Amino acid sequence: MTEGGTAPFLLDGVPAPSPAGAAYLDKVEALAPRLARWADRIEAERRLPPPLLDALHAAGLFRLVLPRSCGGAELDFPSFAAVIEAVARIDASTAWCLGQASGCSTVAAYLAPAVAAEIFGRDSRAVLAWGPGPGARAIAVEGGYRVTGTWSFASGGRHASWLGGVCPILEADGTPRRDAAGRPAVRTMLFPAAAAQMEDIWHVIGLKGTGSDAYSVADLFVAHDHSVARDDAEERREPGPLYQLPANSFFAAAFAGVALGIARSTLDSFLALAKAKTPRGFRSPLATNASIQSQLGEAEARLRAARGFLFGTLGETWGALERAGSAALAQRMTIRLAATHAIQQAVTVVDFAYHAAGATAIFAANPFERRFRDMHTVAQQLQGRKAHFETVGQYLLDLEADMSFL
């Protein structure tokens, strides 16, 4: 604690953000009071309301890692995660939408300049959203593909201007196309959001405001230059170090940032409560309870250690990218490990604060139950899977590891 004993000590081993990152953190701080006021509306409407979208676009928060050639910030990797974390301390659904849109926006690095300008450069409010869609297909025709499919979990799809859909490529006769390595060819198709039919499926316990609904197209023509083989170095057109990272690294960093932001705000809320609340049957505030003191110390250590590991990893990776222009497999594995660890540790911290708060935590008017629901929703998503620890363990043991989410 500080000398006055009124604020947590500062150091957690995380380097200061870059000047560009600090400028965006200042924008989040300026937006914070309005974002906090909109939180109930976000929850009730299950999407980000128009006034909030206006403010987010005005602050450039949808363009954090978009290439500068498209009018984006092309922010350094650690600062990107720090901005998402800062938003999540206020509202997790907003942070999730920004993280998802940012990861999707890196596809601009793989598009021909004219197409990237069409999608992102000419529209300052452009947002791309996508989600998984087993069963989708793209049949090769002259100049492009006829695309049919349904995809879901399209976070931010309700305010997106473009949507994407991953599809296996089929020849005209229905046989799967193969790439140079003999694997089934897969491409992400990009099409205007207006071309798709949205379906309201997002009735969930947490991250309600992300509007992560389903969408469908049927026999839609998509030109070849509006499709990409994501993370294929042969298609990458942007030379910046940021775009040497695969899309999954952006999603891992962003959603770990969301988890850390939720945990930090929940623990801060508990600190305030513990000093003020005297539970039924107690003679003094929660803060005087030795068990609470011990558990709080452990929770603080968990959160700071997880944050230090994550941001230390992101900083080391960014340094390697700037020096060597590429991210080695070991670095991508460490991002996966640090992100998964951060999410799981954040769950533990939030669970402590929620349960230690007692009955206070179950009331919607208090700052616990929504964060509890949001945190457990984050942990259910792909980036929080404990199976990722197995992948890292396989790698450490020199065994064949699952590379799907690196």
CATH number at residue 87: 1.10.540.10
6 pLDDT higher than 50: no
Mean pLDDT of 183-200: 96
Give me the CATH number covering residue 314: 1.20.140.10
- One domain for residues 388 and 247: yes
Mean pLDDT of 16-30: 93
3 pLDDT higher than 50: no
Q: Is residue 404 part of a domain?
A: no
Structure-token pair, residue 147: 């695309």
Interacting residues of 75 by C-beta distance below 8 A, sequence separation 6+ = 18, 20, 21, 24, 64, 65, 83, 242
364 pLDDT higher than 70: yes
Q: Which residues pair with 146 in a beta bridge?
A: 139, 221
Among the three residues 110, 140, 159, which one is the final residue of a domain in this structure?
A: 110
- One domain for residues 252 and 386: yes
Structure-token pair, residue 268: 């801060």
- One domain for residues 47 and 147: no
Q: Is residue 157 part of a domain?
A: yes
Q: Which residues pair with 151 in a beta bridge?
A: 215
Q: Which residues pair with 138 in a beta bridge?
A: 147, 169
- One domain for residues 334 and 383: yes
Percent of the chain predicted with pLDDT > 90 = 85
Structural domain boundaries, residue 57: 19-110
pLDDT at 8: 43
Residue with tokens 């954090």, as numbered in its chain: 64
**Residue-wise pLDDT tens digits, 156-175:** 999 999 999 999 999 999 89
Give me the CATH number covering residue 216: 2.40.110.10
3-state SS class at 121: helix
**Residue-wise pLDDT tens digits, 338-350:** 999 999 999 999 9
Among the three residues 170, 203, 228, which one is the final residue of a domain in this structure?
A: 228
Query: Which of 328, 159, 141 is CA-nearest to residue 223?
Result: 141
- One domain for residues 253 and 375: yes
Give the DSSP H or E segment for 151. Answer: strand 144-154
- One domain for residues 30 and 96: yes
pLDDT at 284: 87
- One domain for residues 147 and 188: yes
For the chain, give the number of residues: 406
- One domain for residues 103 and 133: no
**Residue-wise pLDDT tens digits, 234-257:** 899 999 999 999 999 999 999 999
**Residue-wise pLDDT tens digits, 36-56:** 999 999 999 999 999 999 999
* 8 vs 99 pLDDT, higher one: 99
pLDDT at 272: 96
* 299 vs 278 pLDDT, higher one: 299
2 pLDDT higher than 90: no
Among the three residues 50, 83, 110, which one is the final residue of a domain in this structure?
A: 110
pLDDT at 17: 84
Mean pLDDT of 395-400: 93
117 pLDDT higher than 50: yes
14 pLDDT higher than 80: no
Counting the structural domains of the chain, the total is 3
pLDDT-derived band at 199, boundaries 50, 70, 90? very high
Q: Is residue 118 part of a domain?
A: no
- One domain for residues 66 and 168: no
- One domain for residues 80 and 146: no
- One domain for residues 289 and 202: no
Burial class (CB in 10 A: 0-12, 13-18, 19+), 400: exposed
Burial class (CB in 10 A: 0-12, 13-18, 19+), 262: buried
**Residue-wise pLDDT tens digits, 200-215:** 999 999 999 999 999 9
pLDDT-derived band at 179, boundaries 50, 70, 90? confident
Q: Is residue 331 part of a domain?
A: yes
Q: Is residue 123 part of a domain?
A: no
Q: Is residue 3 part of a domain?
A: no
- One domain for residues 336 and 192: no
Q: Is residue 5 part of a domain?
A: no
* 14 vs 274 pLDDT, higher one: 274
b/e sequence 109-142, b meaning 16+ C-beta within 10 Å? bbbeeebbbbbbbeeeebbbbbbebeebbbbeee
Please tell me whether the overall predicted TM-score, pTM, comes out greater than 0.75 for this model: yes
